[in-house]
Amino acid sequence: MTEKQLTRQQLAAMLLMTDVFALFCLRGGLSAVTAAAFAAACGVQFVLTLPLVVTVRRGRELPRAALWTVLAGLVIWGGGLFDMLWDAAGLIFTVPGNSWTISGRMLTSGLIAAVCVYAASEGRQALARASVIAAALGAVCLAVVAVSAATGSDWHDLTLARSGRGFLGDFTECFAMSGGVSTLILLLPGTKGEPLAGTGVYFAAKGVISAVEILTAALVTGGIMPLVTCPVITAAQLSQPFPTQRIDALFLMIFAIFAVFALAVQTVAAAGALGRLVPQFTRLRSAAVTAAMLGAAFLPISREIRVVGTAVLLLIPLAALAADRTGGRK
Amino acid sequence: MRRLFALLCAAGLLTLPGCSSGRVNDKYYLRSVTITGNRDVSLNMDFFAEELRLTGVSGSSPQDARRHAELLCGRDIFTGYTELVVLGDCDSRAVLEAMLRDWRVSPSCLVVYCSAPDELADSLSAEELTGIVREAVRQGLAPECGLVSVLSGLLRGGAEVPEVCAEGFRGVKKIGST
Amino acid sequence: MRPDELSRIRISPDLEHNITTIQSIAHSSADLLVDRFTAGGVRCALLCCEGMVSTSVITELILEPVTSLPDIGTPDALLRYIQDKLLLSLDRPEVTELDSLFRLMNSGFAVLLIDGLEKAPAFGVQGYPTRGIQEPSGEANIMGAHEGFAESLHLNMSLVRRRLKSPELVMEIITKGGVSRTDLCLCYLQDRVPQELLAHIRRSLGKMKLEAVLSTGYVRPFLEGKGFRIFDSAGTTERPDVLSSKLIEGRVAVLIDGVPYAVVVPRLFCESFQTLDDYAFKPYYVTLIRWIKYAAFLITVLLPAVYTAVVVYHPELLNSTLLMLLVEAEKQAPLSIVTETAGVLLMYEIIREAGIRLPKPVGGAVSIVSGLIIGDAAVQSGLVSTPLLTMTALAVISGFVVPELNPQVTVLRFAFLIAGSTLGLFGISLLACAVLINICATEDFGFPYTAPISPFRLSGMQDTAVRAGFRKMQERDFTVEEYLEK
């Protein structure tokens, strides 16, 4: 049975939830320079996906070797997300009373993985529809958090914020946090409409959301940036719309929802790719892929490897196009 | 298979802690705290809606002192509602950092300085003191002294905070300057 | 004897043999009436079920004209005369085998067996008592009609036909249920219904091999997608005006004989929040009420869980004054908040169920006892605190705003309470994700249950997020096929 196609909004929502979750877990300092660097990096990533757009327009499928590479990248990125979740769980106070302990973190990760497996098992279409709703609600909640954080802050603190990485460092950091491009490579062919518009919408939204989130975090935590582990999380936790009202628990809900969807999107894309590569593998694909991601979380993948990995993934469609052309000339 | 998995999750959830506890009045809710001491900190604690007041609870760090306080009063102490932190002679930056990270104190919690915190506890209640400080800030006599603002200043070399005493508002004091 | 076996037994030319066979198959049932007489010089017998036919109609329209016929001569001539010259009823099928004979007799027809013929005319002379048209009990209305469906299939068909006087309205009758032989009526507008939907429904109903069809619950599972789904993707309605509006949107309805509800396919989640009154008031008022309903749904499902989670695990979300109020109120309560909340919700469900099942004369006692026990004694004794009772009551009352989602709301309320009490807001978020995924996975023959929210259709927001005025809505010419995902 042919799978139904995704809409542009669904594709963008699924990918953006992954990117926003990665931003939540971003460690190290943030500043206005970081926001600019991330926005620039999104622009460059958009340009690098143009070969993918051409591939999709021509209706070409990626060769099996490329598909395996993308699948591997997806599993590793999923593992990276689990790793980020593990680290952030202690800061978010998810499980009451002991979220910073090993057992607490295991419980947090385990529960999210369980929901993620269920979400992926319902299929791509259900996840896509749910992503739009969750992303819209999440955007509203994040806007509330951002506005309440920004209105209570001193704008002078924005000038105090330092990332310590410089523009180039922040630029490459965006690439390190963009493992979701492997998902884009797998899902774009199954999306309705003009692929250029689809990727354009996605990267434009990613650039804007990243910049806004980073600026908000830098504004709120600028004065105490050296003390902060995850600035975005801390900024949300410091949000107070009214003097006597905190809403950091609202952020806890947003974090949990984005974590589930971020991981579920990777799982569903990877399960789909696995199905194409190994058609005999018909059952428990989502569970197998999630287990692989959990295993990949223990791999010692450095930031540099992630940067290079993202760049390589983005270049795969270009390589495939070039191979196509060379093959055609022969 | 899916239903079995869901049932197992539900059964597992039911065994988690939370069902057996879950009484809102099984904690004391901290209203204000006075901190002194460099090597070992000493805390005086005032609570919401309780006659209980703890004085001179010590520990190697604020978190350690808090655990001792919980042992003394026999209940958990919830610090998320803390309205006022009175700093005495102590490492202000380390104390406030610990409060933000470990105690999850509200960012709007007021930070003030007092040279004689023990006298303060006898003369003014937490509610009165908080009101005095808020009024001083509102009238422009004292700078904004929320926890995050003060911590931010301390990271830059020093922060100005309202100074209080047994008679009330005294003035402005720069803390944490090297 | 099974229907397929009965259909192989044909009516024989021997009248007495037919009567003996029929009485034997019916085990000499006391309500089987056999009236022998001579008409036009030919021996005949009129068979019917006592209580199913109108005695006066049979006497005036069948027995008197038929028995007063002059000598016709042959059985064939008698049958021709009756069919061409005597209009004994509007509905006059011909029966050739016993399966149809029994089905018609049990549907209130009278069958005339004629000696010497292998076929028998039947006459629709139904006269069984039925409940008349009454106001629907579950779908109250202020400005619209106060008519609801009744148990008679043909009456229900007429209620719809009166409202949609279009020749495109098609009503197909099919019979389901090996033992009950219940008539089902497929209703649709031929020029609006997606043909794939119709084909799917026919195929799905064809797979139904039940022995009896006694309520909508027997039919709905066959019209819904497979897999565990929390919400029903096939809806029901008790109102002919609501059904007519659904048919105009290209949906298919299934009316069931003996059931005062119609099953409507496909159904969307947002329709649970729409009533016919929405189209009788001004758009701004209706838009406000719609959003109140959405909020009420969230309140009824989430409030007990969120209250428990916040008070136990995230008290910093409350302001200090409110928290101290709760602390004071909970001082006397011997049980944990979770246990209190679960107990009160359970008590409410027991009272609600008792209120439905109790005989009417005793029904008033339920409200007195429940009000006294829960509202007064429990609070005064300190078993339950007042803020908690207030929260739970608010959640319960909010559920009355969307009564058709009551089964799902009840279960979800408890599920979220468990999640919130064990894992706080984190648990509630995870469960909410799972429920959202389940809702989004619900679809009926390709129609997503969450349309037009997801997949998003801006035009659909005219009757979902707001209620646009009719001048604007009339330009849209909406059918449900817009939401079909291909």
Assess A119–C contact: CB distance below 8 Å, yes or no: yes
Residues from chain C contacting residue B31 (CB–CB below 8 Å): 320
Q: Name the minimum distance, in Å, from the CA of A270 to any CA of chain B.
A: 20
Assess A93–B contact: CB distance below 8 Å, yes or no: yes
Q: With a cut of 80, say whether residue C392 has pLDDT above it.
A: yes
- Residue A329's pLDDT is what? 43
Give one word for B74, left, alpha or beta, with left for phi > 0 and alpha for psi -120 to 50: left
Give the Cα separation of A116 and A187 in Å (integer).
18
Q: With a cut of 50, say whether residue C286 has pLDDT above it.
A: yes
Candidate from B9, B101, B155 with C-beta closest to A226: B155
- Residue A258's pLDDT is what? 94
Chain B's closest residue to A229, CA to CA, is: B101
Per the structure block, which two tokens stand in for A143?
């806007």
Tens of pLDDT, residue by residue over C35-51, are 999 988 899 999 999 88
Give the Cα separation of B100 and A224 in Å (integer).
11
- Residue A323's pLDDT is what? 72
By DSSP bridging, strand B84-90 and strand B27-37 are: parallel
Give the Cα separation of C314 and C306 in Å (integer).
10
Residue A142: its H or E element = helix A124-151
C116 CB contacts (<8 Å, ≥6 apart)? C13, C15, C42, C74, C75, C76
- Residue A204's pLDDT is what? 94
Other CB atoms within 10 Å distance of the CB of residue B135 = 13
Assess A135–C contact: CB distance below 8 Å, yes or no: no
Tens of pLDDT, residue by residue over C252-276, are 999 999 999 999 999 999 999 998 8
DSSP codes, C120-153: EEEEE-B----------SSS--SSS------S-H
Give the Cα separation of B171 and C63 in Å (integer).
113
Assess B7–A contact: CB distance below 8 Å, yes or no: no
Assess C418–B contact: CB distance below 8 Å, yes or no: yes
The band of C21, judged by pLDDT with boundaries at 50, 70 and 90, is very high
- Which amino acid is located at A202 in the chain? Y
Do A245 and A234 form a contact (C-beta atoms < 8 A)?
A: no
Candidate from B13, B31, B80 with C-beta closest to C316: B80
* Burial (CB count <10 Å: 0-12, 13-18, 19+), residue B5: middle
Q: A29-51 burial string, b = 16+ CB within 10 Å, else e?
A: bbbbbbbbbbbbbbeebbebbbb
- Residue A226's pLDDT is what? 86
- Residue A214's pLDDT is what? 92
Do B148 and A96 lie within an 8 Å CB cutoff?
A: no
Q: Name the minimum distance, in Å, from the CA of B119 to any CA of chain A.
A: 28
Size of the A and B interface in Cβ pairs below 8 Å: 45
Per the structure block, which two tokens stand in for C311?
């008070």
Q: Name the minimum distance, in Å, from the CA of B6 to any CA of chain C.
A: 11
A99, A129, A252, best to mutate vs chain C, most C CBs in 10 Å: A129
Per the structure block, which two tokens stand in for B175?
């803390």
Average pLDDT by stretches of 10, chain A with 330 residues: 79 94 90 92 92 86 86 91 86 66 82 90 92 92 82 78 85 88 90 88 93 90 87 85 72 91 93 90 87 87 80 80 61
Whose CA is closest to A180, among A319, A2, A49?
A49
- Which amino acid is located at C371 in the chain? G
C313, C336, C433, best to mutate vs chain A, most A CBs in 10 Å: C433
- Residue A98's pLDDT is what? 61
Other CB atoms within 10 Å distance of the CB of residue C129 = 7
B26, B27, B148, best to mutate vs chain A, most A CBs in 10 Å: B148
Candidate from C320, C430, C437 with C-beta closest to A256: C430
Give the Cα separation of C447 and C486 in Å (integer).
9
Residues C308-319, mean pLDDT to the nearest whole number? 87
C194 CB contacts (<8 Å, ≥6 apart)? C250, C479, C480, C481, C484
- Residue A252's pLDDT is what? 87
Q: C264-284 burial string, b = 16+ CB within 10 Å, else e?
A: bbbbbbbbbbbbbebbeeebe
Could you give the angle at which helices A248-277 and A124-151 cross, rounded to 10 degrees? 150
Candidate from C326, C338, C419 with C-beta closest to B22: C338
Beta bridge partners of C255: C185, C262
- Residue B17's pLDDT is what? 45
CA geometry: angle at C220 spanning C214 and C226, to 5°?
140
Chain C's closest residue to A262, CA to CA, is: C433
Q: Name the minimum distance, in Å, from the CA of C203 to any CA of chain A.
A: 18
ipTM of this complex prediction, to 2 decimal places:
0.91
Do C251 and C226 form a contact (C-beta atoms < 8 A)?
A: no
Give one word for A284, left, alpha or beta, with left for phi > 0 and alpha for psi -120 to 50: left
- Residue C351's pLDDT is what? 85
Average pLDDT by stretches of 10, chain B with 178 residues: 60 51 76 89 85 86 91 89 90 90 86 87 84 92 90 89 89 82
Do C441 and A118 lie within an 8 Å CB cutoff?
A: no
* Contact residues, chain B to chain C, C-beta under 8 Å: 2-3, 10, 13-14, 16-25, 29, 31, 48-49, 78, 80-81, 83, 104, 106
Whose CA is closest to A181, among A305, A25, A14?
A14
Do B156 and A243 lie within an 8 Å CB cutoff?
A: no
Helix (H, G, I), strand (E, B) or coil at B54: strand
Helix (H, G, I), strand (E, B) or coil at B85: strand
Chains in contact with A, where contact requires at least 3 CB pairs less than 8 Å apart:
B, C
Beta bridge partners of C123: C110
DSSP codes, C158-223: HHHHHH---TTEEEEEEEE-TTT-EEEEEEEETTTS-HHHHHHHHHHHHT---S---SHHHHHHHH
Identify which has the larger pLDDT, A10 or C369. A10
C437, C439, C453, C456, best to mutate vs chain A, most A CBs in 10 Å: C437
Whose CA is closest to B19, among A185, A96, A88?
A96
- Residue B3's pLDDT is what? 63
Residues from chain A contacting residue B105 (CB–CB below 8 Å): none
Q: What distances in angstroms separate CA C405 from CA A148, C149, C386, C402, C476, one per listed residue?
A: 35, 20, 27, 6, 29
pTM of the model: 0.88
Q: With a cut of 80, say whether residue C131 has pLDDT above it.
A: yes
Residue B34: its H or E element = strand B27-37
Do C294 and C260 form a contact (C-beta atoms < 8 A)?
A: no
Whose CA is closest to A111, among A89, A127, A80?
A89
Chains in contact with B, where contact requires at least 3 CB pairs less than 8 Å apart:
A, C
Residues from chain A contacting residue C486 (CB–CB below 8 Å): 4
Residues from chain C contacting residue B106 (CB–CB below 8 Å): 316
B91 CB contacts (<8 Å, ≥6 apart)? B38
Give the Cα separation of A255 and A235 in Å (integer).
13
Tens of pLDDT, residue by residue over C187-214, are 999 999 999 999 999 999 999 999 999 9
- Residue B20's pLDDT is what? 44
Do A257 and C429 lie within an 8 Å CB cutoff?
A: yes
Chain C's closest residue to B107, CA to CA, is: C316
Chain C's closest residue to A104, CA to CA, is: C423
Q: With a cut of 70, say whether residue C374 has pLDDT above it.
A: no
Do A3 and A190 form a contact (C-beta atoms < 8 A)?
A: yes
CA C409, C410, C413, C419 torsion-angle sign: negative
Residues from chain B contacting residue C331 (CB–CB below 8 Å): 25
- Residue C84's pLDDT is what? 85
Give the Cα separation of A283 and B131 in Å (integer).
65
Size of the A and C interface in Cβ pairs below 8 Å: 104
Give the Cα separation of A16 and A132 in Å (integer).
10
